[in-house]
Amino acid sequence: MTKQEPGWELYRSFLAVLREGSLSAAGRVLGLTQPSVGRHVEELERALGAALFTRSPQGLTPTATALELRGHAEVMAAAAAALLRTASGPADEVAGSVRVTASEVMGVEVLPPILADFRRDHPKVAIEVSLSNEMEDVLRRDADIAVRMVRPTQGALVARHLGVIPLGLHAHCRYLEWAGTPTSMEDVGRHSLIGFDTETAAIRALRAQGIYYGRDRFAFRADSDVAQLAAIRAGIGIGICQLGLARRDPDLVHLLPGALRITLDTWLVMHPDLKSSRRVRLLYDHLALGLAAYIRTGQ
């Protein structure tokens, strides 16, 4: 192994190839030529003394070493992105970038008007939004602020509990006109149901409430909560929706109120080092107020 530590640009190209699956695709993402990305990967392999990809007519396949390095490279990428965000504006000014992560539904349906109000008051702040139902690691600075639907497990984080969001069974009135309105949970099971494609631990927990349905019972399956919500609005069938969201649409009918007791525990999380950043702290407090107001609409 060389005594010279490989530069970040080599790891960046390596990670891009891992994510994109080819040199050409990685080059497009990075704004580099394919040969440049290839040279970076070869330089990193020489520096580490290990092959990272096997070449074949079918493309590049990561080696076991590459897969072991991926997590470390992603930590480096998160740190580099956090460094740029931190340097994007002085800590005592309301200017620069802030990265927020949230679930799909929260990011698409709930956050935009809250963020619009913040941008109106603080136009020099650029907001990055990462939508994922996977929890990005705030402690390692994948994001500056996170809206989480479970209690944070990392004690070092700044966390504020905002309340619980109730969910319920909903259907579009157009669907109910031709399919009829269910009068019991047993009756719901005979309807066209909207649900998941891949079972998760949270879904399995519904069995304890006696309201569990396997994926084979669903007429429409999607792991995207946004896709499920769109299917409910389109009149495909009955699905689970946040009460606050459903109340925005007069054509959505809340079915069997009280029969389904599911809530989303809602937390706002921030890295402790960012408490001194004025723009991050202001956005954190603004999100806390806006989300708390939204949660009250569903009570």
Most confident of the ranges 43-47, 71-75, 103-107: 103-107
pLDDT in tens, 21-35: 888 888 888 888 888
Interaxial angle between packed helices 23-30 and 34-48, expressed in degrees from 0 to 180 and rounded to the nearest 10 = 110
| 236 phi, psi to nearest 5 deg | -70, -35
CATH architecture of 91-299: 3-Layer(aba) Sandwich (3.40)
**Between residues 132 and 240, which one has the greater pLDDT?**
240
| 127 phi, psi to nearest 5 deg | -110, 125
Q: In this prediction, what percent of the chain has a pLDDT beyond 70?
A: 85
**Mean of per-residue pLDDT scores for the chain:** 84
Continuous segment of H or E residues that includes residue 276: none
Q: How confident is the model at residue 66 (pLDDT cuts 50, 70, 90)?
A: confident
Distance CA 284, CA 94 (A): 13
Mean pLDDT within 49-55 = 86
Mean pLDDT within 223-250 = 94
Mean pLDDT within 59-79 = 81
pTM exceeds 0.85 for this model: no
Distance CA 197, CA 11 (A): 35
Q: How confident is the model at residue 139 (pLDDT cuts 50, 70, 90)?
A: very low
On the question of pLDDT at 37 being above 60, the answer is yes
Half-sphere exposure of residue 276, counting CA atoms within 13 Å on the CB side?
4
| Domain ranges for the chain | 8-85, 91-299
Burial 101-139 (b: 16+ CB within 10 A, else e): bbbbbbbbbbbeebbeebeeebeebebebeeeeebbbbe
Would you state the pLDDT for residue 209? Answer: 57
Mean pLDDT within 147-161 = 78
Mean pLDDT within 111-125 = 94
Question: Which is nearest to 109 in space by CA: 207, 246, 219, 5?
Answer: 246
Q: In this prediction, what percent of the chain has a pLDDT beyond 90?
A: 36
Q: How confident is the model at residue 210 (pLDDT cuts 50, 70, 90)?
A: low
Kindly state the greatest CA–CA separation across the chain.
73
Q: Which fold has domain 8-85?
A: Arc Repressor Mutant, subunit A (1.10.10)
Distance CA 174, CA 275 (A): 49
